[in-house]
Amino acid sequence: SIEEELCGLRFRVSPNAFLQTNTEMAERLYGAVREYAALTGAETVWDLYCGIGSIGLTLAANALTVWGIEVSEESVARAIENAELNEITNAAFFAGNVGLAIEELGDRSGPPDLVVVDPPRAGLAGKALRRLGRIGAPRIVYVSCNPTTLASDLKTLREQFGYELRRAQPVDMFPHTPHVECVTLLEKTGSTRES
């Protein structure tokens, strides 16, 4: 493994686990996530597609609890190790398919006040997207590396589940390439229409 420092925390990364390679811009990305999260210390935060825990652990100091789900068992092992490495005791990480594990997570943690999602380029899979919408968290911070799938997922969250896009911040992770991350804030409004 290698060790990297981000946002004042240490992260161990193994060959098959994911971490943003441009660490300077990753700190800006995580800073935008923290700003949009606007945590007060009383919130239950879900970190879906948590990887090695980098986003969730940077939020933990300002949250009541952080609960992460990731399909890669190796990444979850690193997330747990990274929580211990940084002496963070209010974060828990579990291996599982996000679309299937959301309901179990709700049973363990109770309803979330904030959900952070950082899915792969394909965006949120249909089941994960629908279950996320049905949970009805007051706020979602959606981090995306693919503007096309982000637009599609945001449209579904707006039209079917009553979320409105409040803010968006692109982060140029790799200058002189088309690869741009985007951090968005969605807030729940009014009644929803489930399909």
Distance CA 145, CA 129 (A): 16
Q: How high is the pLDDT of residue 190?
A: 67
What was the pLDDT predicted at 136?
93
Token readout for 185 is 């804030």
Alpha carbon 29 to chain centroid distance?
A: 12
As annotated, the active-site residues are: 145
Where does residue 6 fall: left (phi above 0), alpha (psi -120 to 50 degrees), or beta otherwise? beta
Which pLDDT tens digit goes with each residue over 32-87? 999 999 999 999 999 999 999 999 999 999 999 999 999 999 999 999 999 999 99
Burial class (CB in 10 A: 0-12, 13-18, 19+), 178: exposed
Which pLDDT tens digit goes with each residue over 154-176? 999 999 999 999 999 999 888 88
Predicted pLDDT at 48: 96
How large is the average pLDDT for residues 13-35? 82
Sign of CA dihedral 29, 35, 37, 42: positive
